[in-house]
Amino acid sequence: MDNVRVRFAPSPTGYLHIGGLRTAVYNYLYARQHNGKFLLRIEDTDRTRFVEGAIENLIRSLTWAGLEIDEGVMMENGEVVEKGDCGPYIQSKRLDIYKKYVDQLLESGHAYYCFCTKERLDNLREEQKIKGKVPRYDGLCRGVSMEEAKKRIANGEDYVVRLKLPHDRDISFEDEARGTITINSNEMDDQVLMKSDGFPTYHMAVVVDDHLMGITHIIRGEEWLPSTPKHVYLYEALGWEVPTYIHLPGVLNSDHKKLSKRQGDVSVEDFRGHGYLPEGLVNYLALVGWSPEDNQEIFSMDELIKAFDTKRIAKTGGVFDVKKLDWVNSHYMKELSADELLDMAMPYIEKAGLFTKEDVEKNPEHYRVLMETIQDGLDRLEQVPEACGFLYDDYEVTEEAALEQLKSESAPKVIEGLQEILGEMDEITLEEAGKLMKQVQKISGVKGKNLYMPARAAMTGNVHGPELSNIIYLLGKDEILKRLEKAKSYFA
């Protein structure tokens, strides 16, 4: 497939929604698979919803997710810039372009001026609802001649420009994920193309921009499916070739309703804040609404690019399952080196007040071992402080199973053996920590579970957890002796 050009075209209304990121991911995969271009366009014609700083946030989220923008709106040295031959790529800078094509549609008879007031339209909608009809414009101004319309405009009357749809005509288009879709024009509205403030509606702007920017494939959410026949008709009215459409299923919450803020986190920033890795989030999102042929679940970006197939995009919404996201992300957490994990987790660690970068510089091995010790149990970075808790929390034994171990027959022998050996040692090295329990076994005559479980319970207050030799090294001689003394108070 030659010259594939796709675009991600969000509105700057705040942070990037997780469903928006998935749309961007699918566009990006498609572009890379076909050696095409991935464009970022900003659709900001609805000025009432514009949020300051939203464009920067969008670009930062896409960059963090590893989606490289080839053309359009980008950031350079902290500034928003536009790059490419089809600009401007921000819709509010393109008003003259839209006006030119609205005028063309008016002249060719494919559009008309409408002078109906808001009151009239509201009343019409109410009447139609009462009669059980679908609320839509009744075409009153279709009969206003161009001459009369121009007079009324000259007299200062407010107006919009509407699309003049043909009567009772089937409009069909091919959707690469859903097949042929046909809607009759009688079921559609004479869409407003230009609002009274001179700004185009989404429907006008999107068709003009996609054509002039050479977009070959439109990959977007299924909420635009009902509007697509209007867009197809607009392409025809303007004498342009219709691009290929691929409509994506929604991203749903566990109740199978659209994922929304009321249910909790929905923005990329939220997930980033919880310490999900970009690789984990992108890998998981790709699987919400698309399934590979062989049920593979862990994919690098390169593997996703190779495997992605629009024919395997689901027709029904995909449920966003945080547990599954955690599982996918934990895979990428395990792939980090101890140094990478420490570096990425440092903001969470410092916020919790556990230790500082200066502490790490003084004793790098200690903190490297700490990361290796906790790494396997992590799903996301925000869990690091809690996972380090065994070192920093006040030592108490509250877990039922741990208390049982301390009341067991072997516990006094094990603790006595530990105290004896530790009493003869200086500070414990990692190598010595690895041999310590073998020495306790010799002195106490206790082995297996009867040795390890009480020892772990006495040192950590738990019966399960990371490698015991690492814990011994990390706690150090003085702290262990202190805990062993306290553990005796729990004996039966």
Active-site annotation, residues: 261
200: left (phi over 0), alpha (psi -120 to 50) or beta: beta
Q: How far apart are CA 108 and CA 339, in angstroms?
A: 66
Per the DSSP assignment, residues forming a β-bridge with 182 are 172
End-to-end CA distance of the chain: 76
Q: Are 455 and 440 in contact (CB under 8 A)?
A: yes
Q: Distances from the Cα of 146 to the Cαs of 47, 316, 362, 413, in angstroms?
A: 30, 45, 81, 101
Residues 196/201/205/208 CA torsion (nearest 10 deg): -80
What are the φ/ψ torsions at residue 50 (nearest 5 degrees)?
Answer: -65, 135
Q: How far apart are CA 230 and CA 219, in angstroms?
A: 17
What are the φ/ψ torsions at residue 217 (nearest 5 degrees)?
Answer: -135, 125
The answer to the question of whether 261 is labelled as a binding residue is yes
Q: How far apart are CA 280 and CA 257, in angstroms?
A: 24
Q: How far apart are CA 343 and CA 191, in angstroms?
A: 53
Q: How far apart are CA 76 and CA 379, in angstroms?
A: 33
Q: How far apart are CA 460 and CA 435, in angstroms?
A: 19
Q: How far apart are CA 217 and CA 51, in angstroms?
A: 28
Pick out the residues of the known binding site for ATP. Answer: 261
Q: Which residues are annotated as a binding site?
A: 261
